[in-house]
Structure 1
Amino acid sequence: MAVQLDDGAERTAPGTGKGGAPPENGAPPAGRPPRLPGRRAPRLPARRTPLPSARRAPYLLLLPALLATALFLGWPMARNALLSFQNLNMKELIQHLTDWRGTGNYQEILGSEQFWRVTFRTVVFTGVNVVLIMVLGVLIGLLLARLGKKMRLALSAALVLAWAMPVIAATTVFQWLFDSRYGVLNWVLDRLGWHSMAHYDWVGTQLSTFFVITVLIVWQSLPFVALNLYAATTTIPKELYEAARMDGAGTWKVFTSVTFPFLKPFFLATTFLEVIWVFKAFPQIFAINEGGPERLTETLPIYAFTEGVGNLHFGMGAAISLLTIVVLLAMTAYYLRLTVKQEQQEENEL
């Protein structure tokens, strides 16, 4: 029995040296493959530092766009900012005089009740139009996804034609439609029994004028939302809809559980763009009734034009236009803040 133990110790001994150290003859420890002579361990490839030209390439590609932005947007903004600190009327313009007023224009505007009424009116007008555009645009986009090929093509063509029509041309058509004497709408209402609407003046009151402008702006904006939504729905996997329907989900449940979560970035970006587009709408409002009646339908862009060009107070108009940009930036910043918070909450829930 002792001989067997001794033999086992002799068999395991070559793998270790004294005190468990490797043997003196350089043999590898037990369980490790011997290292071949002349072979080195592989080395990781060294990190290559990008060349200076490669680092500058993205900035060189952005340079033309930055130069164009600075030339066509930055320079007029800078000139407008200088005009906002001047008392520039027709006299100063003809005689090439520069009458610096400092912050007098801004103090007069911010202290005017008219400016705050117009600002509130612009915000409400923008909110109502954006809600109508998004709701109706989403409904039409979902309808496009459900229609057959021929009907989808016909509706898409109609939307593209409405979208491609120039703003002034579309506004002129709406002026004819809502004309008090020869308008098609009044004629139709009269035929349907509303005889009091035979010669109704649609631009005679504040609410009716805003109604015409809202219908025009919504009609022009629907194609953008509807067509983009339909294009976005084609990226949603059909398996998600099939699974939702197998679980017994109805149309509304499918929209809230599949379509809306999947297309949430689209809704956020589109709403943001529509807020900007409606807020700065100028041709539609000015061409319909020039901000009338009695300046009750003026928004901030119309107000800036009326004070600057209409009343020949160019410095005042420049100041109002800059304040308009500030109000728009504040609205968009608040909207972006809400979207960022919502995305963070979703990430935390996941």
Structure 2
Amino acid sequence: MTVQTERPPSGPMKVHRRTNGGHGKPPESRRAGALLPYLLLLPAVAVTLVFLGYPLINNGILSFQNLNMRQLIQHLTEWNGIDNYKEILTGSDFWRVTGRSIAFTAANVVLIMLLGTLVGLLLARLGKRMRVALLIGLVLAWAMPVVASTTVYQWLFAQRFGVVNWVLVQFGFENMAEYNWLGGQMSTFFVVTLLIVWQSIPFVAINLYAATTTIPKELYEAASLDGAGAWKSFTSVTLPFMRPFLYATTFLEIIWVFKAFVQVYTINAGGPDRLTEILPVYAYIEGIGNQHYGMGSAIAMLTIVLMLALTAYYLRIVLKQEEDA
């Protein structure tokens, strides 16, 4: 039995070369192209590490030291391990201030998101001229420096010559004459909350108004044809589109309010009798005010850990809701 094998065709053999993907670029060019985004990010990462990473590491090192004015002047380094953390965590002041800070943050964020959402929806409903006028007012309020706006609120709620007391007296509230708004815990928190909410509403309103501009008008027309009213259109059309913006904005506001040092300290330095201290103010007074720098650094580090835990918990809730949706 003979087996016939097919003879290859005569002539020169053609060699087919595989091209390196990406329009025939060599591997070196492809690697350089892949590294380019990281190289562009490198300056920003370097600046962040210098101006944020170094102070954070230095603060963490100081939190394990017994550092007061004597050690600072004599350039002494006295390590005391975790004694600062033990003293803070076993004391009642830290936990009292922590609970106060969480309640303060929650109350402010709820008010900010509620009022900011309403103003954002109002912007979407207004005509062009009124919308531009309101946007200008929001931007001016938002752009006002924090210390300047805090000073204005101190003048508004001043005991003897404050505008708020004068207006209340004109409306018949004679007992509000020379009322000391900063003399009690709740009244001081009322002034600080009003200030923070006023400063935060523009960011939320403008952000959510921008979200409403991405909603196709055809969806509202379809909902109207289905007989949906204003509330039904909001819950079935507007709210689903705004939900990612609401999550992101709430996340940012939690961080911003939780570290609202300037407003609380400038209004009344955490008074009266340290009853309005939140964690950033508490860390500053213990560290700089009482010259217990190691203790203040430890409180600052615990504040960072607590803020990370709160934001992680919030992000977990958000991600779970998105998965369920």
TM-score with structure 1 setting the length: 0.85
- What's the counterpart of residue 64 of structure 2? 85
CA distance, structure 2, for counterparts of residue 95 and residue 199 of structure 1: 49
- What's the counterpart of residue 200 of structure 2? 221
CA distance, structure 2, for counterparts of residue 250 and residue 294 of structure 1: 52
1:259 and 2:238 aligned: yes
Gaps of 5+ in 1: 1-23, 27-39
- What's the counterpart of residue 169 of structure 1? 148
- What's the counterpart of residue 313 of structure 2? 334
- What's the counterpart of residue 9 of structure 2? none
Structure 1 runs of 4+ off > 4 angstroms?
42-46
1:130 and 2:113 aligned: no
1:298 and 2:280 aligned: no
Deviation (angstroms), 1:55 = 2.4
What letter matches 1:179 in structure 2? A
CA distance, structure 2, for counterparts of residue 223 and residue 343 of structure 1: 27
Deviation (angstroms), 1:45 = 6.8
Deviation (angstroms), 1:61 = 1.1
- What's the counterpart of residue 96 of structure 1? 75
Deviation (angstroms), 1:130 = 0.4
TM alignment of 1:229-308, pairs within 5 A: 229-308=208-287
CA distance, structure 2, for counterparts of residue 253 and residue 120 of structure 1: 38
CA distance, structure 1, for counterparts of residue 173 and residue 229 of structure 2: 40
- What's the counterpart of residue 72 of structure 1? 51
- What's the counterpart of residue 313 of structure 1? 292
**Structural RMSD (CA):** 1.7
- What's the counterpart of residue 164 of structure 2? 185
Deviations along 1:200-235, whole A, 9 cap, x unmatched?
110111000000000000000000010111111111
CA distance, structure 2, for counterparts of residue 131 and residue 43 of structure 1: 64
CA distance, structure 1, for counterparts of residue 276 and residue 140 of structure 2: 28
Whose relative contact order is higher, 1 or 2, with alpha carbons under 8 Å and at least 6 apart? 2
Deviation (angstroms), 1:53 = 1.2
CA distance, structure 2, for counterparts of residue 205 and residue 295 of structure 1: 11
What letter matches 1:84 in structure 2? S
Deviations along 1:37-70, whole A, 9 cap, x unmatched?
xxx9x99976455622122212211110110011
TM alignment of 1:4-43, pairs within 5 A: none
Gaps of 5+ in 2: 7-13
What letter matches 1:294 in structure 2? D
- What's the counterpart of residue 41 of structure 2? 62
1:113 and 2:96 aligned: no
Deviations along 1:98-143, whole A, 9 cap, x unmatched?
0000000000000010000000000010001000000000000110
SS in 2 for 1:153: helix
Deviations along 1:240-285, whole A, 9 cap, x unmatched?
1111122222222211111110121101100000000000001100
Deviation (angstroms), 1:149 = 1.1
Deviation (angstroms), 1:199 = 1.0
Verify the 8 A CA contact 2:211 2:241 in the aligned structure 1: no
- What's the counterpart of residue 120 of structure 2? 141
What letter matches 1:166 in structure 2? P
1:153 and 2:132 aligned: yes
What letter matches 2:268 in structure 1? N
CA distance, structure 2, for counterparts of residue 118 and residue 166 of structure 1: 27
SS in 2 for 1:325: helix
SS in 2 for 1:88: coil
CA distance, structure 2, for counterparts of residue 198 and residue 305 of structure 1: 34
CA distance, structure 2, for counterparts of residue 177 and residue 233 of structure 1: 35
- What's the counterpart of residue 17 of structure 1? none
Give the structure with higher Rg (CA): 1
CA distance, structure 2, for counterparts of residue 201 and residue 287 of structure 1: 16
SS in 2 for 1:263: helix
Q: Mean Cα displacement is larger for which, 337-346 or 318-327?
A: 337-346
Deviation (angstroms), 1:150 = 1.0
Deviation (angstroms), 1:167 = 0.2
SS in 1 for 2:250: helix
CA distance, structure 1, for counterparts of residue 223 and residue 171 of structure 2: 45
SS in 1 for 2:116: helix
Q: Mean Cα displacement is larger for which, 229-238 or 249-258?
A: 249-258
CA distance, structure 2, for counterparts of residue 285 and residue 75 of structure 1: 27
